Structure 1
Amino acid sequence: MTILRTLTALAALGAPLLAHAAGDAESGAQAFRACAACHSLVAGEHRTGPSLATVFGRRAGTVEGFARYSEALRQSTVVWDEEALDAWLRDPAAVIPGNAMRFRGLPEAPARADLIAYLRAVSAGKLAPPKTRALPDLKAVDTGQRVRAIGHCGDTYRVTLGDGAIFPFWEFNLRFKTDSSARGPRHGEPVIVGAGMGGDRAQVVFSAPQEISAFIRDACP
């Protein structure tokens, strides 16, 4: 085999390895599914964690509109590039000690490279961000989900709905939440949402926290 043919053969063998080392965005899209429960790739769409749409070149803890950063992230000087993201995805606690992200890290370097390639492709507009499951529009629910009154007695809440139905809940099984977003309930019109467990647990969602205590009444016979 001539030297030229040898070099050509080696180059052919090395090409897929180099491509893989640079990361494969399609494989990264699959890996991102594990991240999608907490992060969106749509700009301004924050969930449990901040949107990652403009992560490249941004200092950690600074995305506009996200108010739940740990103090460790806010004080960090880390700027997100490929190297910083690779280190973070490998071991977040080592990169920014004291951060609140509950993620143990990806030990496999190829998986990290694929995920970073995917984030880069979406950030550059080469791939469309994945659609995230929209939260329900609590302004559009029917009368049977709207809460008319909540009475409390002993260890029991009695929830009266807009259609007149009354449901008793053990107080530990009824949760009170707020949703101030555009899809949250109207002011003064809380909504009940099921929470599984055979129908014995539910969530009442208000538009603002100050509505909660004002809405509940002592209602013992």
Structure 2
Amino acid sequence: MKRGMALAVGTLLGVAAMAGHARADGDAARGAKQYRACVACHSLEPGSHLSGPSLAGLWGRKAAQADGFIRYSKGLRAAELVWDENTLNAWLADPEALIPGTFMVFRGIKDDQARSDLIAFLALAMAPGGGDAVVSQGLVPRDYVRGQKPDPVRLAPTDTVVTRIRHCRDSYFIATADGTETPYWEMNVRFKVDTRDTGPEPGHPVVLRAGMAGDRVSIVFANIQELTQFISEAC
């Protein structure tokens, strides 16, 4: 083992030891309530990644190995961690202490019992078929398995299908398939790309309106090339 890797592994083991071993009296039902905070970033559907990777089937597997997820930090990729009671205990106590520079924006759970409860739930949820198991046992609703996955936009109504976007001074004018053109302040417009099969049809970007008055919008494209195809400078 190279010296740098040996030092890294030694540091990780030391942090895990300081966090202590996971308690054996965790309650999965209480942990399910803790898991509610996780659904914004994770799903339990295999291959369905959100801002964080899907947790499906990761129990007992090496960290930073979820199929199809590429946004891992260098530290986590190099850590050689396997997700189990003790590594999750250290991770959930303080992710930054375990993996400096981690991309996971989470301060950690300081309460030992709360951490133990969540790990008891994750032992079920992260096992193969865990999403279905925790639902069938009544621990979480089906929506928790899906997480906060964006709704499909492939079958969008005509008033949301974008045909042209022109920029003029401090405004974007967004034309849609129903024949209307609506102006928006440029600072209230976001451009996004959704390459999943639930994203928009290629060549048919979709506008998603938000804000109390619908004055904030996201334009979702099927691929990066469409950004230049649909947007022009025209007053």
Unaligned ranges ≥5, structure 1: 1-19
Deviates more, 1:117-126 or 1:98-107: 117-126
Deviates more, 1:117-126 or 1:47-56: 117-126
RMSD: 1.6
TM-score (norm 1): 0.86
3-state SS in 2 of match to 1:131: helix
- Does residue 42 (structure 1) correspond to residue 57 (structure 2)? The answer is no
Distance 1:60 1:122 in 2: 16
Which residue does the alignment assign to 1:185?
A: 200
The one-letter code sitting in structure 2 at the alignment partner of 1:110 is Q
Distance 1:215 1:79 in 2: 45
3-state SS in 1 of match to 2:219: strand
Partners of 2:50 and 2:149 within 8 A in 1 = no
Deviations 1:159-182 (A, max 9, x none): 111111110011111111111101
Cα deviation, residue 134, structure 1 = 4.5
The one-letter code sitting in structure 1 at the alignment partner of 2:159 is G
Q: 2:167 aligns with which of 120, 131, 152?
A: 152
Which residue does the alignment assign to 1:95?
A: 98
Q: Give 1:1-221 correspondences, 5 Å limit.
A: 21-124=24-127, 125=130, 126-128=133-135, 130-132=144-146, 133-220=148-235
Partners of 2:163 and 2:230 within 8 A in 1 = no
Task: Give the greater-gyration-radius structure (CA).
Answer: 1
Distance 1:54 1:96 in 2: 22
**What is the aligned length?**
201
Distance 2:210 2:224 in 1: 20
Cα deviation, residue 197, structure 1 = 4.2
Partners of 1:40 and 1:47 within 8 A in 2 = yes
Unaligned ranges ≥5, structure 2: 1-22, 136-141
Identity level (%): 47
